[in-house]
A = this chain, B = another copy of it.
Amino acid sequence: MTAAPFDFSPLLPAGLPAAAARWTGLAKYSFVGGNNDPEQIPLDGLIEAVNAVLRREGQTLATYGLQSGPQGYLALRQFLSAKLRRDGGISCTADDVLIVSGSLQALDLVNATLLARGDTVIVERDTYQGTLNRLTRLGVNTIGIPLDGDGMRMDVLSDTLVDLKRRGITPKFIYTIPTVQNPTGTIMPEARRLELLKLAEQHGVPIFEDDCYADLIWDGKRPPAIHALSKSANVIHIGSFSKSIAPALRVGFIVAPWAAMSRMLALKTDAGSGALEQMVLAEYCTPHFETHVPALRRGLRAKLDTLMEALNEHFGTTAEFEVPKGGIFLWVKLPDHVDTLKLYQAALAAGVSINPGPEWSTDKAYAGSRLRLCFASPTHQQIREGVATFAEVCRKEFGVPTRSGNVEMKSRA
């Protein structure tokens, strides 16, 4: 290059997100992202599966969509329809399933099918950052409903729907993560799911059920999916293999009535999601999913225990949390004067990455002293060291926990 470099900036449209920074690697102690436990990737099984499926039908890779059409690899959709029936009580066939490139593409497709700028949607007050960021970028009004130990509160939802109706607003959907809620870790019981369905039907609002974490319940017992309990086909259900097998594979799915799915398909202009990953998942999961997942859960539960012990040891009563019913994250409350956005920066400088609460909530003030800690990826030792380092940073920045934190410790498990 000899001339002055071309200036792209005058060409950029309004409203672009800020430019990304150069990636500088993962933090030494990483408690962020939905990363999983490297030791629990079922490598032998995946290798066996990929050999079998490529030997048998590898030539189909020459065709976009693997000769299974735009909804994705047929064997994987068949596995999912059987699994969703067995685990979640969902009655669906392979024709009701759309394979997507991770549940993030599911979010994009559902949003694109239903939302326009200025629309209103209802979410849980504390919810998945990726969902909140998408809704913000789309210019959608997002109303957060507080949660209790059983998930989204139906009294507040009912009042909100009535209030919106008075103002002539029909929300486009109610987005919920009912089964191991992100970030609170709660599970909505069946009775409340039925209440939610009743309210949604009364108000003509569909439900967008994100069941990404539903495989990771400690005792393996889950209520029926909201999709399964609906009598009016008003639920769009999404899920993923990121948490149960491996996040880097980027395979998720949507179960939706054809009236909605046919619109999503028209918007899915990517010539299909990655075929090799769909093939290996179908081949591996059909025989092995039911034995793999309980072993994974046991390992995750042990890491959660290590994390809670480390927090008790270093923070004592300074760090408050409820024991999540499954999943890979813990939603932690620090004293009110702690600002987790500031703490995030200081911790990162010390090699510890955390998710500051305000990025995971519609109520930035409520979440200002909260944070999310993911425990699946670090080793037990990294969890212990990382929490110790994090406590040190927190003490230096905010004066808590005090040095005597560990003598104030009380058990909450």
Query: CB-defined interface of A12-38 with B at 8 Å, one 1/0 digit per residue?
Result: 111011111111011000000111111
Q: How many copies does the complex hold?
A: 2
Q: How far is the CB of A320 from chain B (nearest CB, A)?
A: 29
Identify which of residues 202-220 in chain A touch chain B, using a CB-to-CB cut-off of 8 Å: 206
10 A-B pairs closest in CB distance: A248-B275, A274-B274, A23-B69, A6-B234, A13-B116, A20-B265, A19-B262, A38-B59, A61-B246, A3-B232
Between-chain CB contacts (< 8 Å), 10 pairs: A3-B231, A8-B259, A17-B263, A20-B70, A33-B63, A38-B60, A41-B58, A61-B247, A101-B250, A274-B276
B263 touches A16 (CB 8 A): yes
A197 CB to nearest B CB, Å = 10
Nearest CB of B to A172, in Å: 6
Does residue A271 face the partner (Cβ distance < 8 Å to B)?
yes
Question: Could you tell me which A residues sit within 8 Å of B by CB distance?
Answer: 1-9, 11-14, 16-23, 25-26, 33-41, 43, 46-47, 50-51, 54-55, 58-67, 69-71, 95, 101-102, 104-105, 113-116, 119, 130, 133-134, 170, 172-173, 201, 206, 230-234, 242, 246-251, 257, 259-260, 262-263, 265-267, 269-277, 280, 376-377
A39 CA / B67 CA spacing, docked (Å)? 15
**Contact A250 to B233, CB < 8 A, known contacts A41-B62, A47-B51, A172-B11:** no
Q: A11-B114, A41-B58, A46-B54 are in contact. List 20 more A-B contacts (CB 8 A).
A: A1-B230, A1-B232, A3-B232, A4-B232, A6-B234, A8-B259, A9-B259, A11-B173, A16-B113, A16-B263, A33-B63, A36-B63, A37-B62, A39-B59, A101-B274, A104-B271, A133-B269, A247-B271, A250-B271, A250-B273
B-chain residues with CB within 8 Å of residue A270 when the two chains form the complex: 101-102, 104-105, 250
